[in-house]
Amino acid sequence: MPPRRAHHLLQLPCPAPGCARWFRNQSGLTQHRRSLHPNIPAPGPPQPSRSPSHPRDFSPPPPDFSPPPRDFSQPPQPSPPMPSEPTHEDSDNADAEFTDSSERCYRTYHSMLNGRPCTADGEFLPHGAPPTPMPQKAPDDWSPYRNRIEFEAAEFAFKKCHMSAKNLDFLCDLMAATLVKHRDVPPFADHKDLHNVIDATQLGDVPWQSFSVQYTGERPEVVPPWMDDEFDVWYRDPRAMAHNILANPTFKDEIDYTPFREYNASDKTRRWKDFMSGDWAWKQSDIISKDPETHGSALVPIILGSDKTTVSVGTGNNEYYPLYASIGNVRNSVRRAHRDALVIIGFLAIPKTDKKHSKDDAFRIFRRQLFHSSLSAILSSLKSAMTEYEVVRCGDGHFRRIIYSLGPYIADYEEQLVLSCIVKHWCPKCIAVRTNLDNGGMDRCREHTEFLIGELHGDVLWDEFGIIGDLVPFTNDFPRADIHELLSFDLLHQLIKGAFKDHLVDWVAKYLKAVHGTRRAEEIMSDIDRRGAAAPSFSGLRRFPQGRDFKQWTGDDSKALMKVFLPAIEGHVPGDMVRAFRALLEFCYLARRDVVTEDTLNQMQDALHWFHRYRQIFDLVVPTFSLPRQHSMIHYTDMIRLFGAPNGLCSSITESKHIKAVKEPWRWSSRHNALGQMLVTNQRLDKLAASRVDFDARGMLTGTILSSALAALTPDEDEQAVPPIAPQPDAHAIEPQPDIDIDDGEVVDGPTVLGYVVLAKTPQRKRARTVAALAHEVAVPDLRRLIRHFLFTQLNQDDPRDPADVPTGSLPRHEGKLQVFNSAAATFFAPSDLSGTGGMRREHIRACPLWRNEYLRNDCVFIDTDSDTQGMRGLEVARIVCFFSFKHNWEVYPCALIHWFEKIDDCADEDTGMWMVHPSFHEGGSRNLAVIHIETVFRAAHLIPMYGSEYIPHDLKFYHSIDCFRSFYVNKFADHHAFEIAS
């Protein structure tokens, strides 16, 4: 029997300030230091300073460095700190300068509703006064838990794994059996004990309440059963939930208490990003500040969202109607990152009846009015604080006077019709005639609607204005609330799943059938499917190997199709059809930007104009273009001015919340009376999250559970607890990041940096160890010469000569060992994509001879060659042949051997809007190769073949595409960051 391995206790702490990582051996610590703390010197020979050949510094910055996101127009400059919220002394329409992106900007803050700190009694504090001290808790007060082990065990078992009661009881028995020899007890006796401890938590405790609703109107002679039914609505106090979000200390640096307007310093043009930068918050503050008693308060907009969701495809009552809430003060990145800034506050009733009565007008009106009455009742606790302030403690420790307002409502088109009491096929935002929506019309408003209802008959309202006069929106019960104005954009359902997937993609199939007949059209569509499946690998790219014809089509599937569909149809459809897709895609990607400028709005209007023009090619198969979801695009620029960048109010946020708040709690339930169990589960999850925030704010969660236990040991205990450890060459940090099969991009929390690329942590031991061996392995005989040229540029950066013109004897030499790596990780600022709260995202670039034990994979990358030029004019494209590193004069050089690609033209393609490239070769036919420093790599690039009009082979695999084709599009639609840099 082989010897048992002892548990490797963590022995070595990281010496970097603020880093709480511990390691089992020196090897793990060294790798961690090199990848995350390269500025901390390591023991050994002195390291000479070196400047990379590339003029920009992309090495990982120190932990306290937070530069702005990367911009190609200027070299990176250190940015001054962004000011905190303005105080009453500097907010009187003063301009506060700060740096966001690489361009200097300034803000004008609202002078009246400026969120001045105050005491618990509402008395304003002088400028610079510290916050009122919070009640102090002992540093070891883990109540209601006895220690950290109990808390982490409860969070692990209930939140991360959500063990069943049976499995949790068995785990407790296992721990008890292990500890019985030491006369110790496990953290919990059984699952009931764990649940009781979580339930005893006071933090985050907002209890569920309910009320019943029943029909009280006129009754016919034969009363349908639904009129006698009672419908239960469950909810939590939205006011208390808003208090919890405001008081969350993790949001203290990511929350805006004052409306502001942001401008570029260079041209004085407006910028929109987070919600409080929009005009709606400013106008609300103007209205509220007419009452002098409100001056100095902070506006807190309540953002709502609702959408029915199905938890199972099985039979039974498996449909739920969750209601979510957030506040407009937290920034978009926080809301999108699902960091408890969006919470579930209710489950609305779903009235149902038999088929005989389901289409009765009375039932339909009751069902809609029940929705509005329920919302009005749930939000009633906010009403008193909408005109008179209340004092609330915020995450920075200060008390502030708070005034609430109903803010935007996140909903898809069907939900917007219910909210606005508008007839189907009409626009809930304007009174454009439903048969010609794009002709536009006056914006709807509460006053105009009430006037029409008072003057016109119900049939006229329905037919001429699309108004359901029998309903009263819930917003009529609250001050300063107009449902038509509050309906927000919906990128997911209006643009991605609507205009793109349900409209244009389906229209292509209809067009091909109308022009070529069914059989020929099916052949073309099959080739389009094969082209999409043949797209080369890329981080986050989904594939459709069997085509697009599957039933469970999700929003992520639509987003994936957007990335590859445009090149796939070119050659099979007319040019105007390709241009229509390009215009729509550009509108979608522009609207998804994290920061929207006046120039962005102009580009969106141009894209919309061209989309309306080129979509006429579909008039052969489309009876009308008067479609509400396409029509919504004309309102986007106005709504951006009102609410800021759309990515903070997209329904994809609530769709994602369905998983954690509804679907997973339902799966964890017994399925019998599941709603009650789901309510308890959500409450316990909130308590665990609130406890973690509290413990972390008090510094009680530093390091890992094991490192904290070791730190608490006495010297005698430590000597007994830590057994001798045999050398383990494969042991790394407690949280290793090996080179594993990951194709999706990763969100990265932490400080915002320009971007950097690092090689994989572990070199490949079975690959070449010398230059000669690597040259043979990758079939590059002149690799020695390429390395010598590389070293010359690194060591002689002021020498303008081309290394090819330098005598061979004058070139530096490297004949020593090297290490080969199968991948590198690029970390960069990409706030428009799914990213951490700092806007950082990471992707893996592969150069692997046998990926997934199946095929060769060599990814393509962007190389930054001209820092003074924006977009593709300052970038080149190359394919990675291999990653390697070597040491020369005590300096380690991480490198990449690349094959250059050349741009086909000096501008992008007119139809697709994408740049075109082809592999670069020398006159003799040999590949144009080079060795470059890893720091010159920006990020991965996605190339899609230019397929032309010919069918591609049925057996063509996606991993052969780069080798089988000779011309490629640089896919700017691969993700939103690629769209910004490759346009």
**Cis upstream peptide for 126 (omega within 30°):** no
The pLDDT score that the predictor gives to residue 733 is 35
The Cβ of residue 513 has, within 10 Å, a number of other Cβ atoms equal to 17
Model confidence at 375: pLDDT above 60: yes
List the structure tokens of 955. 């057996």
| Percent composition of the chain: helix, strand, coil (DSSP 3-state, to 5) | 40, 20, 45
486 close to 475: Cβ distance less than 8 angstroms: yes
392 close to 260: Cβ distance less than 8 angstroms: no
Residue type, 40: I
The pLDDT score that the predictor gives to residue 706 is 80
540: left (phi over 0), alpha (psi -120 to 50) or beta: left
What average pLDDT does this structure show over 288-304?
96
649 close to 643: Cβ distance less than 8 angstroms: yes
Instruction: Give residue-wise pLDDT tens across range 207-241.
Output: 999 999 998 888 888 888 888 889 999 999 999 99
What average pLDDT does this structure show over 825-840?
84
The pLDDT score that the predictor gives to residue 39 is 59
Model confidence at 254: pLDDT above 80: yes
List the structure tokens of 128. 């610079």
Compute the distance between CA of residue 34 and CA of residue 763 in angstroms, rounded to an integer.
14
What average pLDDT does this structure show over 122-127?
93
- For residue 720, what pLDDT band results from cuts at 50, 70 and 90? low
**CB-facing half-sphere around the CA of 399: CA atoms within 13 A:** 17
List the structure tokens of 843. 């992707």
- For residue 177, what pLDDT band results from cuts at 50, 70 and 90? confident
Q: What is the DSSP string of 706-730?
A: HHHHHHTS-HHHHHHHS------TT
Question: Comparing 51 with 468, which gets the higher pLDDT?
Answer: 468
List the structure tokens of 970. 């640089």
- For residue 97, what pLDDT band results from cuts at 50, 70 and 90? very low
Compute the distance between CA of residue 253 and CA of residue 241 in angstroms, rounded to an integer.
19
Burial class (CB in 10 A: 0-12, 13-18, 19+), 40: middle
Q: What separation in angstroms does the CA of 982 have from each of 68, 155, 611, 873? A: 20, 43, 21, 9
404 close to 302: Cβ distance less than 8 angstroms: yes
Give the closest residue to 280 by CA, choosing from 597, 638, 590: 638
Could you give the percent of the chain with pLDDT greater than 90? Answer: 60
Model confidence at 741: pLDDT above 90: no
Model confidence at 547: pLDDT above 70: no
Give the closest residue to 869 by CA, choosing from 57, 72, 103: 72
Q: Is 877 helix (H, G, I), strand (E, B) or coil?
A: strand
Q: Which residue has the tokens 């690799």?
A: 783
What is the rounded (10 degree) CA torsion for 662, 665, 666, 672? Answer: -130
The pLDDT score that the predictor gives to residue 306 is 95
Question: Comparing 837 with 289, which gets the higher pLDDT?
Answer: 289
**What is residue 672's DSSP assignment?**
T
Could you give the percent of the chain with pLDDT greater than 70? Answer: 85
Compute the distance between CA of residue 572 and CA of residue 566 in angstroms, rounded to an integer.
11
Model confidence at 726: pLDDT above 60: no
Burial class (CB in 10 A: 0-12, 13-18, 19+), 473: buried
From 250-264, 728-742, 869-883, the region with the lowest mean pLDDT? 728-742
Q: Give the distance, in angstroms, between the CA of residue 943 and the centroid of all CA atoms in the same chain.
A: 24
The pLDDT score that the predictor gives to residue 103 is 58
List the structure tokens of 135. 């009640």
The Cβ of residue 553 has, within 10 Å, a number of other Cβ atoms equal to 14
Model confidence at 327: pLDDT above 90: yes
Compute the distance between CA of residue 167 and CA of residue 886 in angstroms, rounded to an integer.
51
Compute the distance between CA of residue 828 and CA of residue 981 in angstroms, rounded to an integer.
12
Give the closest residue to 566 by CA, choosing from 956, 831, 942, 965: 942
From 23-32, 442-451, 753-762, the region with the lowest mean pLDDT? 23-32
Compute the distance between CA of residue 392 and CA of residue 402 in angstroms, rounded to an integer.
7
Question: Comparing 738 with 148, which gets the higher pLDDT?
Answer: 148
Model confidence at 85: pLDDT above 50: no
Burial 80-102 (b: 16+ CB within 10 A, else e): eeeeebbbbeebeeeebebbbbb
914 close to 971: Cβ distance less than 8 angstroms: yes
The secondary structure element, H or E, covering residue 531 is helix 518-533
Q: What separation in angstroms does the CA of 487 have from each of 159, 346, 966? A: 34, 19, 48
What pTM, to 2 d.p., does this model score? 0.86
What average pLDDT does this structure show over 159-179?
88
Model confidence at 920: pLDDT above 50: yes
The pLDDT score that the predictor gives to residue 551 is 53
Compute the distance between CA of residue 533 and CA of residue 543 in angstroms, rounded to an integer.
6
List the structure tokens of 885. 């590193």
Compute the distance between CA of residue 257 and CA of residue 118 in angstroms, rounded to an integer.
13
Instruction: Give residue-wise pLDDT tens across range 632-676.
Output: 999 999 999 999 999 999 988 998 899 899 999 999 988 888 999
**CB-facing half-sphere around the CA of 464: CA atoms within 13 A:** 9
Q: What separation in angstroms does the CA of 434 have from each of 120, 461, 961? A: 53, 13, 46
The secondary structure element, H or E, covering residue 403 is strand 399-410
480 close to 405: Cβ distance less than 8 angstroms: yes
Q: Cα 183–186–187 angle (5° rounding)?
A: 135
Total residue count of the chain as it appears in this document: 983
Instruction: Give residue-wise pLDDT tens across range 25-77.
Output: 666 677 666 666 665 555 444 333 333 333 333 333 333 333 333 333 333 33
From 352-361, 471-480, 570-579, 815-824, the region with the lowest mean pLDDT? 352-361
The pLDDT score that the predictor gives to residue 542 is 81
Q: Is 900 helix (H, G, I), strand (E, B) or coil?
A: strand
The pLDDT score that the predictor gives to residue 715 is 56
The Cβ of residue 569 has, within 10 Å, a number of other Cβ atoms equal to 23
Q: What separation in angstroms does the CA of 147 have from each of 9, 144, 188, 529, 701? A: 20, 9, 12, 57, 11
- For residue 439, what pLDDT band results from cuts at 50, 70 and 90? confident
**Among 77-81, 219-223, 744-748, which range has the highest average pLDDT?**
219-223
Sign of CA dihedral 343, 347, 348, 352: positive
Q: How far is the first Cα of the chain from the last one, in angstroms, to the nearest whole number?
A: 62
Compute the distance between CA of residue 307 and CA of residue 654 in angstroms, rounded to an integer.
8
Model confidence at 729: pLDDT above 60: no
Model confidence at 762: pLDDT above 50: yes
90 close to 96: Cβ distance less than 8 angstroms: yes
What is the rounded (10 degree) CA torsion for 463, 466, 472, 475? Answer: -160
The pLDDT score that the predictor gives to residue 43 is 47
- For residue 548, what pLDDT band results from cuts at 50, 70 and 90? low
Phi and psi torsions of 225, nearest 5°: -60, -30
Phi and psi torsions of 217, nearest 5°: -85, -165
List the structure tokens of 140. 């070891």
The pLDDT score that the predictor gives to residue 372 is 96
Contacts of 947 (CB under 8 A, 6+ apart): 531, 567, 568, 570, 571, 965
Average pLDDT of the chain is: 85
What average pLDDT does this structure show over 611-629?
94
**Among 10-19, 731-740, 790-799, which range has the highest average pLDDT?**
790-799
